[in-house]
Amino acid sequence: MMTQGGGTSLAGLSTRYGRRWGSSFCRPPIVLAIVALWLGGCGVIGRQAPTGLPARHKFTANQLVVQSDIRLPKNHQLIQDLETLREDLASTLELPLQKQPVTIYLFADEVRYAQYLQTAYPNLPPRRAYFVGTSDELAVYTFWGDKIQEDLRHEYTHGVLHASLKDVPLWLDEGLAEYFEVYEGPRGYNREYAEHMGEALRNGWRPDMLRLEQLTEVQQMQKADYLEAWAWVHFMLHDSDDTRGALLSYIADLRFEARPQALSARLQNTLPNTESRFLAHASTLTQAAVTAGAVKVRQ
Ligand SMILES: [Zn+2]
295 C-alpha to center of ligand 1: Å? 30
Output the pLDDT for position 14: 31
Model confidence at 116, in pLDDT bands (50, 70, 90)? very high
Model confidence at 28, in pLDDT bands (50, 70, 90)? very low
Output the pLDDT for position 126: 81
Q: How far apart are CA 223 and CA 225, in angstroms?
A: 5
Model confidence at 11, in pLDDT bands (50, 70, 90)? very low
230 C-alpha to center of ligand 1: Å? 11
pLDDT in tens, 164-207: 999 999 999 999 999 999 999 999 999 999 999 999 999 999 99
Output the pLDDT for position 63: 87
17 C-alpha to center of ligand 1: Å? 6
157 C-alpha to center of ligand 1: Å? 8
Average pLDDT over residues 144-167: 95
127 C-alpha to center of ligand 1: Å? 11
Cα 2 to Cα 64, 148, 233, distances in angstroms: 37, 29, 19
Output the pLDDT for position 5: 35
Output the pLDDT for position 51: 65
Output the pLDDT for position 30: 67
Residues 283 and 200 sit within 8 Å (Cβ to Cβ): no
Output the pLDDT for position 45: 28
172 C-alpha to center of ligand 1: Å? 10
Largest CA distance in the chain: 58
Range list of β-strands (E), the chain: 30-33, 57-61, 64-68, 102-107, 129-133, 138-143
31 C-alpha to center of ligand 1: Å? 9
Cα 202 to Cα 13, 197, 220, 233, 281, distances in angstroms: 17, 9, 25, 21, 14
What's this model's pTM, rounded to 2 decimal places? 0.83
pLDDT in tens, 36-84: 333 322 222 233 444 699 999 999 988 899 999 999 998 999 999 999 9
119 C-alpha to center of ligand 1: Å? 22
Q: Is residue 18 predicted with pLDDT exceeding 50?
A: no
Output the pLDDT for position 2: 32
81 C-alpha to center of ligand 1: Å? 18
294 C-alpha to center of ligand 1: Å? 30
4 C-alpha to center of ligand 1: Å? 22
182 C-alpha to center of ligand 1: Å? 13
218 C-alpha to center of ligand 1: Å? 10
Output the pLDDT for position 48: 40
Find, among 107, 70, 68, 104, the residue nearest to 86 by Cα.
104
Output the pLDDT for position 290: 67
Model confidence at 104, in pLDDT bands (50, 70, 90)? very high
Q: Which CATH number fits domain 28-169: 1.10.10.10, 1.10.1740.10, 3.40.50.300, 3.40.30.160?
A: 3.40.30.160
Residues 121 and 139 sit within 8 Å (Cβ to Cβ): no
pLDDT in tens, 120-129: 988 887 888 9
Considering only residues 268 and 8, tell me which one the structure prediction assigns the higher pLDDT.
268
87 alpha carbon, distance to own chain's centre: 17
Q: Is residue 87 predicted with pLDDT exceeding 90?
A: yes
Residue ranges per domain, the chain? 11-17+185-298, 28-169
Instruction: Compute the mean pLDDT over every residue in the chain, rounded to the nearest whole number.
Output: 83
Considering only residues 235 and 31, tell me which one the structure prediction assigns the higher pLDDT.
235
Average pLDDT over residues 86-98: 95
Output the pLDDT for position 39: 31
Ion ligand 1 — residues with CB < 5 Å: 18, 32, 174, 177
| Count of C-beta atoms within a 10 Å radius of residue 53 | 15
Q: Is residue 287 predicted with pLDDT exceeding 70?
A: yes
pLDDT in tens, 211-260: 999 999 876 888 899 999 999 999 999 999 999 999 999 999 999 999 99
